[in-house]
Structure 1
Amino acid sequence: MPEPHDSPNGGAAETGARFSRVEAVAAALSVIWVVAVAAYLLAGPGEGGTLDLVMTLVMVFLPIALIWIGVTTLRSVQDLRAEAARLQASVETMRAAWVQSQVQPSVEQKLQEIERAAKTAETVLATFTSRRDASLVQASADRKAALVVPSRVGVGEDQPALALGTPAEDLRAPLSVAEFIRALQFPENPDDRDGFRALRLALEDRTVAKLIRAAQDVLTLLAQEGIYMDDLKPERARPELWRSFAQGERGRAISGLGGIRDRSSLALTAGRMREDPIFRDAAHHFLRTFDKTFTEFEKNASDAELVDLADTRTARAFMLFGRVAGVFE
């Protein structure tokens, strides 16, 4: 992209060329006029008084003066145009710099906050020990499992068994609905202890951990485009639509789930999916993982819990990618 001052200089050079041509024409007209007047005087009678001499001088020099006054005026007009072009270029440059200074810090600040939150999460997970939370061993209605626990016929190869052959996962309390929803919202800030606790518990569940990691991947990729789930305000869908989706319904019958209407976010996401295969693969993996996990969650969730889940950052990302991928068409 050329510098703003290049264009005015180029215009000034072109204007100088036009001035040379104009001055040449003016000089030629002046010479022609002088020759014509001289020829007239030489061909005419030789006698005449002072008045005739004055009139002759006026007749000779007045048209020439008018010609050069016009040339000077034209030069001034062209100079004013060149100056206006330079000022316009300077204004556009300052406006672009101002817009960049207003937008860039906001984007960088959000990226830094996400990075700090991710580092804090890694620190919490790295320091996790075998100590169990007291709330996990207390019987309560709030401890309703988020996902249907599958029946186990035997111990799989990738599941470590204890002394009596019981898989380690069987001794861990199932992830509750409240913890599942809180984990899908992700921590609000580095000081959000409840958010990090729910995230740690969710990552201990292999099924939910797949969804958490898939969601984290797409949220990070969306942040690179300046798209943040907190900025999106989706239209609320009825719990019946979410249940229909969990039971396999697709297309226009569940179009109400695609509540994201922000055209800028939809356009940026669609463009990135077309151009970036990594972004596209991450999006499709996230949609498949959300579909599979939500199908299990819906079996144990109440209508109010479905509404709460729909307001999480993960669910908003699903609505956004679902609309772009045509899930609701």
Structure 2
Amino acid sequence: MPLTDRIAILAQGRAAGLGLALSVVWLVLVLLFWLLVPGADQGGSGIGRLLAFVGVVMPLVLIWLAVTLADAIAALRAEAEDLRLRLSQLRDGGPRTDNGRGAGPVMGGGIAPAPPTSSLPADPGRARQSAPPAARARPADSRQTSMALDDVQPVQVPVQMLVQALNFPDGPDDTETIVALRTALKDQDHSRVLRAAQDVITLLAGHDLYMDDLPPQPAPISLWHRFAEGARGQAIAGLGGIHDPTALEIAATLLREDEIFRDSAHHFLRNFDVMLTRNLPRLDDDQIRQLSDSRSARAFMLLGRAAGIFG
């Protein structure tokens, strides 16, 4: 059972038990008053009977209102603890769930000896049928390989490898993308973008937002070139190609209410913006289309639209 459920159930049981005990004590006191106080059982005026009824019922209402509030506070604390645990595991470079599967794409904390040895399970049933080969699986299903960021050295990364790396591998058999990701991680600037993309994709997946479920509306290639030339705001609004209202509402709520998510999202948006500006002139039209359909680009479109950077 997840940590959140265990804590919430335990707190709920204690609060409900205390509320029941207090309710029984109060009803016993009312009964004793009714039986032992002279004249307590005699009928009075209508207002008197109303006040007596309110006096009996109101404490019960207050008791169970307190129980409900205690349950809500316990659930919030459990969610906060679970989020802290997830983020701690991400920083350690190896988040694991109770069944041994990872919670999201992992690139730090160790080197996978070879792509076929990756522990990431393939799940073809959750892949998008109409997607290009480089974008078929959900990052939240742990189909990204484990990568190391130690000894990062400046290298010249081919643009096609960068485009593939921004989508992350589909699974342990996606050796071509794994090689591209390993190569891109050797460049400090690219590794910064990939780390930031990993963080936001994992956090979004924790709220059931998966990039493979959010196909973007394609934007004209000319609009991407305008972005590379420095256009921003309403002039490049068409680049925010994700319009799913539920996803946008969740993302906007997280940006507004979750400080950790907000910092991660703004860090990702800044780095992805710089990466696009620097690399778009090196891409041909097909590579731009492939990049715009990658998981990282979808996260950029979703968070950018939720944050209002597209006007």
Compute the TM-score of the two structures, normalised by the length of structure 2.
Answer: 0.54
The aligned amino acid for 1:122 is I
**Contact preservation (8 Å) 1:266, 1:320:** no
Q: Flag the 1:122–1:233 CA change in 2: closer, same or farther, 3 A.
A: same
SS in 1 for 2:171: coil
The answer for the alignment partner of 1:284 in structure 2 is: 266
In 2: Cα distance, 1:327 partner to 1:254 partner: 9
Structure 1 residue ranges without an equivalent (≥5): 31-73, 127-159, 161-167
Give the superposition deviation at 1:310. Answer: 1.6
> Pick from 208, 224, 239: which aligns with 1:242?
224
In 2: Cα distance, 1:3 partner to 1:209 partner: 48
Give the superposition deviation at 1:318. Answer: 1.3
> Pick from 5, 8, 13: which aligns with 2:25?
13
> Pick from 232, 256, 267: which aligns with 2:253?
267
Give aligned pairs, total: 219
Give the superposition deviation at 1:108. Answer: 3.6
Which runs of structure 2 are paired with 1:146-161 in the superposition (5 Å)? Answer: none
CA displacement 1:90-138 (0-9 Å, x = unmatched): xx99xx9xxx9xxx9xx94799425685479722589xxxxxxxxxxxx
1:3 aligns with 2:15: yes
> Pick from 169, 180, 188: which aligns with 1:198?
180
> Pick from 104, 112, 119: which aligns with 1:123?
112
**Contact preservation (8 Å) 2:265, 2:303:** yes
Give the superposition deviation at 1:199. Answer: 0.5
In 1: Cα distance, 2:105 partner to 2:225 partner: 36
In 2: Cα distance, 1:218 partner to 1:28 partner: 66
Which runs of structure 2 are paired with 1:205-220 in the superposition (5 Å)? Answer: 205-220=187-202
Q: Flag the 1:287–1:265 CA change in 2: closer, same or farther, 3 A.
A: closer
> Pick from 34, 37, 44: which aligns with 1:22?
34
Aligned-pair Cα RMSD in Å: 4.5
The aligned amino acid for 1:22 is W
Which runs of structure 2 are paired with 1:1-329 in the superposition (5 Å)? Answer: 3-24=15-36, 108=97, 112-114=101-103, 117-118=106-107, 122-124=111-113, 175-177=158-160, 179-223=161-205, 227-258=209-240, 259-261=242-244, 262=247, 263-272=249-258, 275-276=259-260, 279-329=261-311
Compute the TM-score of the two structures, normalised by the length of structure 1.
Answer: 0.52
In 1: Cα distance, 2:99 partner to 2:284 partner: 34
The aligned amino acid for 2:31 is F
Q: Flag the 1:256–1:109 CA change in 2: closer, same or farther, 3 A.
A: farther
Q: Flag the 1:115–1:250 CA change in 2: closer, same or farther, 3 A.
A: closer
In 1: Cα distance, 2:104 partner to 2:229 partner: 37
Identity %: 34
In 1: Cα distance, 2:41 partner to 2:159 partner: 97
Give the superposition deviation at 1:29. Answer: 6.0
Structure 2 residue ranges without an equivalent (≥5): 1-10, 43-52, 84-95, 116-152
**Structure with greater proportional helix content:** 1
Q: Flag the 1:319–1:116 CA change in 2: closer, same or farther, 3 A.
A: closer
In 2: Cα distance, 1:29 partner to 1:183 partner: 81
Q: Flag the 1:201–1:114 CA change in 2: closer, same or farther, 3 A.
A: farther
**Contact preservation (8 Å) 2:234, 2:310:** yes
Q: Flag the 1:208–1:125 CA change in 2: closer, same or farther, 3 A.
A: farther
SS in 1 for 2:310: coil
For the pair shown, which has the larger CA radius of gyration, 1 or 2? 1
**Contact preservation (8 Å) 2:104, 2:205:** no
SS in 1 for 2:273: helix
**Contact preservation (8 Å) 1:111, 1:223:** no
Q: Flag the 1:11–1:234 CA change in 2: closer, same or farther, 3 A.
A: farther
Give the superposition deviation at 1:10. Answer: 1.4
**Contact preservation (8 Å) 2:167, 2:295:** yes
Q: Flag the 1:264–1:240 CA change in 2: closer, same or farther, 3 A.
A: same
